Amino acid sequence: MTTKSELRQSLVALANAIADLNSPFASPATRARWSGHALHAASLGRSGAWRNLPDTGADYDGTKAALDEARTTLEDSASSAARVQAVLARLEHILD
Amino acid sequence: MHLPIALKTPATVLAALALASCGVNTLRLEYADLVGQKGEAVATSTRSFLDVVRTTREGANVELVAADAACGRSPAQLRDPPLFGRRAPAVGWLCRPAPNKKFAIDLDPLQDDLEPTLTAVQALADYSDALTDIVNSKPADPSKAVNDALATAEAAQSAFVAVFKLGKGPLPAASDPRVKAITDFIGFLGELQVEADKVKALRKFLAEQPEEAAPTRLIAELRSELDEWEASRASDQVIMETISGDLLNGVINRARPGKPQERREAMTAYYSRHSARLASARIYPALTGVLDAFEKADGNMRRVMREHPNLNDKERAKVAEINRTRLIRALDNLTALVTAFRGV
């Protein structure tokens, strides 16, 4: 069972992984895409919505696995960008 | 030989004292002192970390509002992706109006939100301070009473003479070897008694702690809250670096790049944010190490505080060494007493 703390840590790890690969010297289009994901993840990471979330729940497990997978397979490609976006949208839905 | 009546069988008395006040008490006090020190380190480090959390949030908010005025128009949320390609500082490139406050950017200071964590830290600090106070309390020096008695009135003289059967006549001087021997002896007994009293006070203090104030519970609560604040801090660092990188990208990639000074400032700001993100990521692991050390020290103290503690090999060796030293000291005291009173 994944706790919300673990889930949140995975999210922040994803945000940091994106920040690591998000070069400011990339093309504006590439930079904008990954900045969007980094800011989205970081915005969710600092959100006060976590306080109201139950500490555990089976629903989180899939999201955590997806977050971890997204973090470990991050590449500067359209396919992984879409995957990250999907994972973040899923997490936002859980927090909503 | 006219030894005081209480010292007629001094060897028995001293041997019994040496055994009864075994070195475990010394170990107990050392461990309690260590818990006090570690607890203070936890409190100091945690408060510093929470300061970092608070200032990082403020820094991220400053960056957001400075980078795009739309981020300050509450409720606002970050764009995904930001609108690049416009000439900065175009309003709305980074933020857009949020449909509700759920995921809107919160620009309020964190101080109020940090209060519950600071309260937990204070509880832990109070616990550690109490242990330190007990260990370092200064009881009246038992040997001082003897010296004071020598310098005071007739009543003291009578009592002194009666107690120690020194016979009639003037009181012995403080430099008299008999007085010194008795003073040292009383001091030795006093030290053992003080040690035992402190252990008793520690046990009483620990027994009186309410369940909810138990350090294990406080530490678990603190760890959980600090995990949350670490997530907040790391997120804010990502926001600061990302915005800085975005601004740099805008300065160097637009059709008419910024002026040299503008480019210099943007590059410098980005490197600074990048370094800060990497450096600040090392704070929390260090803090959890301090928490681990405190938890371990507290567990060890509670283990040895029991009546018949289960000591490990290292502790047993230490206690044996303390007892050996103590027994030698007891015998030295005995020799000094016998020598001083021989022929009186």
pLDDT at B162 exceeding the cut of 70: no
Any long-range contacts for A77-85 (C-beta under 8 Å, 24+ apart)? A81/A33, A81/A34, A81/A37, A84/A14, A84/A18, A84/A37, A84/A41, A85/A37, A85/A40, A85/B80
Return phi, psi of residue B107, to 5°. -95, 0
Q: What is the mean pLDDT of residues B12-26?
A: 65
Which value does ipTM take for this structure? 0.91
Closest CA to B82 of A43, A60, A12: A43
pLDDT at B88 exceeding the cut of 60: no
pLDDT at B127: 94
pLDDT at B180: 73
B85 interaction partners in chain A (CB closer than 8 Å): 28
Q: Each residue of B262-287: pLDDT tens digit? A: 999 999 999 999 999 999 999 999 99
pLDDT at A13 exceeding the cut of 90: yes
Provide the shortest C-alpha distance from residue B38 to chain A (in Å). Answer: 26
pLDDT at B156: 43
Q: Which chain B residue has its CA at the smallest distance from A17's CA?
A: B238
Q: What is the mean pLDDT of residues B139-149?
A: 57
Q: Do A25 and B252 touch (CB under 8 A)?
A: yes
Q: For residue B204, which amino acid is it?
A: K
Q: Do B277 and A36 touch (CB under 8 A)?
A: no
pLDDT at B141 exceeding the cut of 90: no
pLDDT at B101 exceeding the cut of 50: yes
Q: Do A5 and B235 touch (CB under 8 A)?
A: no
pLDDT at B338: 73
pLDDT at B183: 72
pLDDT at B145 exceeding the cut of 90: no
pLDDT at B155: 47
> At A82, is the pLDDT very low, low, confident or very high (cuts 50, 70, 90)?
confident
Closest CA to A35 of A54, A20, A53: A20
End-to-end CA gap in chain B: 6
Q: What is the mean pLDDT of residues B17-43?
A: 86
> At A1, is the pLDDT very low, low, confident or very high (cuts 50, 70, 90)?
low
Q: What is the mean pLDDT of chain A?
A: 87
Q: Each residue of B304-323: pLDDT tens digit? A: 999 889 899 999 998 888 88
Q: Which of B78, B102, B232 sits opposite A39 (nearest CB)?
A: B78
Instruction: Find the range with the poorest average confidence among A84-93, B27-36, B187-196.
Output: B187-196
Q: Do B224 and A27 touch (CB under 8 A)?
A: no
pLDDT at A4: 86
Q: What is the mean pLDDT of residues B74-83?
A: 91
For residues B289 and A65, which has the higher predicted lDDT (pLDDT)?
B289
pLDDT at B82: 92
Most confidently modeled of B125-139, B214-228, B263-277?
Answer: B263-277
pLDDT at B334 exceeding the cut of 70: yes
B83 interaction partners in chain A (CB closer than 8 Å): 32
pLDDT at B15: 53
Q: Each residue of A28-60: pLDDT tens digit? A: 888 999 999 999 999 999 998 888 887 767 677
pLDDT at B195 exceeding the cut of 90: no
Tokens of A1: 């069972």
pTM attached to this predicted model: 0.82
pLDDT at B93: 92
Q: What is the mean pLDDT of residues B216-232?
A: 92
Q: What is the mean pLDDT of chain B?
A: 83
